[in-house]
Amino acid sequence: MNAETEAVVVETRDRPDGVRVVTLNNPPVNAISSAMRRQLRDTMLEIDADDSVKGVVLTGAGRAFIAGADIREFGKPNPPGAPSLTAGVHAVEDCNKTVVAAVNGAAAGGGLEVALGCHYRVAGPKARLGLPEVNLGTIPGATGTQRLPRLTGLKPALDMIVSGDLVSAARALELGIVEAIEDDPVEAAAAIALARAPKKLREDDSKIGEIPDGFFDDYKKGMARRWRGFEARFKAVDAVAKIVLPYDEAVEAERAVFRECQGTPEARAMRHVFFSDRQAARHPSIPKDTPAGTVEKAAVLGCGTMGGGIAMNFANAGIPVTVLETSEEALERGLGIIRDNYSGTVSRGRLSQEAMDRRMALITGASDYADLADADIVIEAVFETMDIKKQVFGTLDDVCKDGAVLATNTSTLDVDEIAAATSRPEAVVGTHFFSPANVMRLIEIVRGAKTSDETAQTAMKLAPKIGKVGVMCGVCDGFVGNRMLYQYSRQANFLIEEGALPQDVDRVMFEFGLPMGPFAMGDLAGVDVGYLVRQERIKKFGRTNKRESTVADKIYHLGRYGQKTRKGWYDYEPGSRTPKPNAEVTALIEKASADLGIERRAISDDEILERCLYPLVNEGAKLLTEGIAARPLDIDLIWIYGYGFPRYRGGPMHWADEIGPAHILERLEHYARTSDPDWLEPAPLLREVAGQGTTFREWADAR
Ligand code: T1G
């Protein structure tokens, strides 16, 4: 594409007052393509040479100002002659006319850097501003690390750059990034452009001041716990720290770090998640133009831990929700837990009392099914046994209005069997929330064999409205997440029979980037809950001929149920969630090995990692072949938002592609040879992509 043929994405118009309005127009969000970089530079040079221009306003067309560099161009060679964005920013700043940014919408990444190249900035009420490059595993690469601190001071700039969050117009005003918020920012900007002389931010470091020794190291220490594994965020601090150098040198150093970040596995993973987040809602099984039902009134059955959390999501989103419980006492207890939850957030200063009161006012308790009759969606969160579920759905079928979505929060039961208990299985869908339901962002949206497109679409479109990521999957035992988790936990239990201890396995998983390992997770979820799920599986499927570890059952029979009893796989001090290894558990494990005739051996961290995660990936491959998961990205999002799989690794299937399916196959076959073969049978799809030297991503793209 050369200058002659490329689309015009930088438009100009002259106002009667001599101000030239430069509008960046590259739908949908004015991402900075190479064409835009070229046209912006050329436009500024033209203005420089045109004395009829008295001032310049830079703004964006549509809902965004500029969404930053075009992420789709990342990793691709820079077309010939396309100036760098840094050159574009300097062309704006060096313009001999005053240039004012009218920030009408999102100014993100390179978009904010362009605005920081302008001499002044005015925001519209809907503006959002930030440098979110770290969310793409990279850093601001067009002077942002040197310009933002010059406007806000070092600490606020570091907070914005490291969090990657966009701030509102009001916050940007507070921070001094913009100097006014105007309903018509172009008009206000034009006035400033005519009234003031150009002012170059690069020459103003009055906001930097004296930098205490160790300031940046201390800042990084403060980040260590929250941003563990997100390397780009730490590199961004190093880039900002170049502020002590002359501007040009500091910008060169920033550029070098930016380039270094672009090719990292973290950057590839974070880009994958960025686009996957946006593709999740466009599920291939739902025709694009399928209408979604509106949800103006919701209901939740059961106000226990899950039901209460689910209800809070609706109240948080401003949607009235009725919560039904079998007794007044149970209802009061459930509403009390919700109230305490909100009070806790208020006391931590993360919610105002008014907001809490508003949300509580949206939650209505009920004990009569008739109160659910006009709900647009009813989510059932009662005890996890099929008989109760069927009875509940039969009643819902009788009382709920036509067109209502009947959803079940089951995590293990057959959604089709539940739907069959109604006369409208097309209206039934699984909405599997994760605990704590008001915190965890994932909803596994389980589409039954008879779930209609409209019902599925309604659930998918509802998820982001209540602050969730909805990922669709089909019906099978454990759906996507728990079915893969089963293979992971099973391996972890075999590993401790063979020589490892819970703390070894958990350390390796924690260092890999998971919030905690399988045994600490078992204690959080409840060793008793795990035992009951296993019993339910045996009742449902009978004992399989596959060998199962029995250590977890032994821990259960010792009454060690986990954090709730302050002893499980680990011990817990009163009021502490820090797991402490326990000698009785170690002895129990060693005895289990002896009883199985297993001679305990030293097990390497690599073996622990491979034997826990490769079977998980392998199960993911089976789920893709069965169509339970339609795309690898669905599996990745389920594991990132439901199980805390590290975002900077992109999710299990993306991670597998980075490692190479062939290597994973080779290791699975290795372990099949050296231990119990039947539990590591490589999935046909894994064999296929490994055999063809391709990836799960390429397999999916080729379909
Ligand atoms: N490049 C390419 N496509 C983009 C894009 C971008 N920067 N931003 C959004 N899109 C696509 C997106 O995939 C979706 O496509 C559509 O636009 C609408 O997006 C040197 C190098 C701006 C806050 O990280 O955070 O600059 O799914 O649904 O809700 O320092 O988009 O419809 O096919 O999100 O209104 C830094 C990324 C780049 C910002 C608007 N910039 N974008 O939110 O729309 S790195 C970012 C966003 C950089 C420099 C470096 C949001 C938004 P599709 P959307 P939205």
Ligand 1, atom 31: closest residue by C-alpha: 67
Ligand 1 centroid from CA 635, angstroms? 22
405: phi then psi, degrees, rounded to nearest 5: -90, 130
Q: Are 156 and 192 in contact (CB under 8 A)?
A: no
Ligand 1 centroid from CA 132, angstroms? 10
Per-residue pLDDT tens for 462-503?
Answer: 999 999 999 999 999 999 999 999 999 999 999 999 999 999
- Of 4, 11, 73, 133, the catalytic one is 133
**What local confidence, expressed as pLDDT, does residue 537 receive?**
77
Residue 2 CA to residue 30 CA, distance in Å, equals 19
- Tokens 């043929």 sit at which residue? 5
Note the maximum CA span of the chain.
92
Q: Which of 661, 656, 640 is nearest to 229 (CA)?
A: 640
Ligand 1 centroid from CA 104, angstroms? 16
Q: Which of 443, 532, 533 is nearest to 483 (CA)?
A: 533
Q: Are 342 and 359 in contact (CB under 8 A)?
A: yes
**What local confidence, expressed as pLDDT, does residue 79 receive?**
64
- Of 93, 113, 266, 610, the catalytic one is 113
Our CA angle for 97, 167, 127, nearest 5°, is 55
Q: Is 260 a catalytic residue?
A: no
Q: Which of 158, 162, 151, 140 is nearest to 255 (CA)?
A: 140
Identify which of 24, 29, 32 to mutate to test ligand 1's pocket (most ligand atoms within 8 A of the CB).
29
CA atoms within a 13 Å half-sphere pointing along the CA-CB vector of 693: 0
Please give the single-letter amino acid code of residue 549.
S
Residue 419 CA to residue 406 CA, distance in Å, equals 9
> In this model, does residue 286 exceed pLDDT 60?
yes
Q: Which of 604, 616, 579 is nearest to 498 (CA)?
A: 604
Q: Are 303 and 311 in contact (CB under 8 A)?
A: yes
Ligand 1 centroid from CA 633, angstroms? 18
Q: Are 386 and 410 in contact (CB under 8 A)?
A: no
Residue 590 CA to residue 496 CA, distance in Å, equals 9
Ligand 1, atom 8: closest residue by C-alpha: 67
* Atom nearest to 135 CA in ligand 1: 24
Ligand 1, atom 37: closest residue by C-alpha: 67
Please give the single-letter amino acid code of residue 297.
K
Q: Is 113 a catalytic residue?
A: yes
Residue 474 CA to residue 626 CA, distance in Å, equals 9
Per-residue pLDDT tens for 365-376?
Answer: 999 999 999 999
Identify which of 71, 131, 134 to mutate to test ligand 1's pocket (most ligand atoms within 8 A of the CB).
71
Per-residue pLDDT tens for 101-137?
Answer: 999 999 999 999 999 999 999 999 999 999 999 999 9
Going by their DSSP bridges, the two strands 128-130 and 321-324 should be labelled as unpaired
Residue 419 CA to residue 448 CA, distance in Å, equals 8
Per-residue pLDDT tens for 350-361?
Answer: 999 999 999 999
Pocket of ligand 1 (CB under 6 A): 28-29, 31, 63-64, 67-72, 85, 106, 108-110, 113, 132-133, 135-136, 140-142, 144, 275, 278
Ligand 1 centroid from CA 313, angstroms? 26
Please give the single-letter amino acid code of residue 690.
A
Our CA angle for 291, 294, 299, nearest 5°, is 135
The alpha carbon dihedral of 385, 388, 392, 397 has a sign of: positive
* Atom nearest to 86 CA in ligand 1: 20
Mean per-residue pLDDT over the chain, rounded: 95
- Tokens 């596995």 sit at which residue? 265
**What local confidence, expressed as pLDDT, does residue 619 receive?**
97
**What local confidence, expressed as pLDDT, does residue 673 receive?**
80
Please give the single-letter amino acid code of residue 150.
R
> In this model, does residue 3 exceed pLDDT 70?
no
Going by their DSSP bridges, the two strands 128-130 and 106-108 should be labelled as parallel
Q: Which residues pair with 130 in a beta bridge?
A: 108
**What local confidence, expressed as pLDDT, does residue 680 receive?**
75
Q: What is the DSSP letter of 567?
A: B
pTM over 0.85: yes
Ligand 1 centroid from CA 588, angstroms? 53
Residue 119 CA to residue 151 CA, distance in Å, equals 11
Ligand 1, atom 33: closest residue by C-alpha: 278
* Atom nearest to 131 CA in ligand 1: 36
Ligand 1, atom 53: closest residue by C-alpha: 278
- Rg of the chain, C-alpha, whole Å: 28
Q: What DSSP line would sit under 398-412, residue for residue?
A: HHSPTT-EEEE--SS
* Atom nearest to 275 CA in ligand 1: 13
Q: Quick one: pLDDT band at residue 81, thresholds 50, 70, 90?
A: low
- Tokens 């970040």 sit at which residue? 261
Cβ atoms within 10 Å of 272's Cβ, excluding its own: 24
Element (H or E) spanning 696, and its range? Answer: helix 696-701
Q: Are 54 and 90 in contact (CB under 8 A)?
A: no
**What local confidence, expressed as pLDDT, does residue 534 receive?**
85
* Residues in Cβ contact with 476 at an 8 Å cutoff, skipping those fewer than 6 apart: 483, 623, 626, 628
**What local confidence, expressed as pLDDT, does residue 544 receive?**
61
Ligand 1, atom 21: closest residue by C-alpha: 69
Residue 702 CA to residue 696 CA, distance in Å, equals 10
> In this model, does residue 599 exceed pLDDT 70?
yes
> In this model, does residue 2 exceed pLDDT 70?
no
> In this model, does residue 592 exceed pLDDT 70?
yes
Ligand 1 centroid from CA 72, angstroms? 10
- In order of 415, 446, 534, the CA distances from 385 in angstroms are 12, 18, 13
Residue 642 CA to residue 304 CA, distance in Å, equals 20
Ligand 1 centroid from CA 31, angstroms? 7
Q: Quick one: pLDDT band at residue 546, thresholds 50, 70, 90?
A: low
* Atom nearest to 70 CA in ligand 1: 1
Per-residue pLDDT tens for 510-536?
Answer: 999 999 999 999 999 899 988 988 887
Identify the three-state secondary structure at position 158. helix
- Tokens 């998918």 sit at which residue? 460
Mean pLDDT value of segment 9-16: 95
* Atom nearest to 164 CA in ligand 1: 24
> In this model, does residue 676 exceed pLDDT 70?
no
Query: Buried (b) or exposed (e) across 294-328, using 16+ Cβ within 10 A?
Result: ebebbbbbbbbebbbbbbbbbbbbebebbbbbeee
* Atom nearest to 113 CA in ligand 1: 30
Per-residue pLDDT tens for 15-55?
Answer: 999 999 999 999 999 999 989 999 999 999 999 999 999 99
> In this model, does residue 80 exceed pLDDT 80?
no
Ligand 1 centroid from CA 219, angstroms? 28
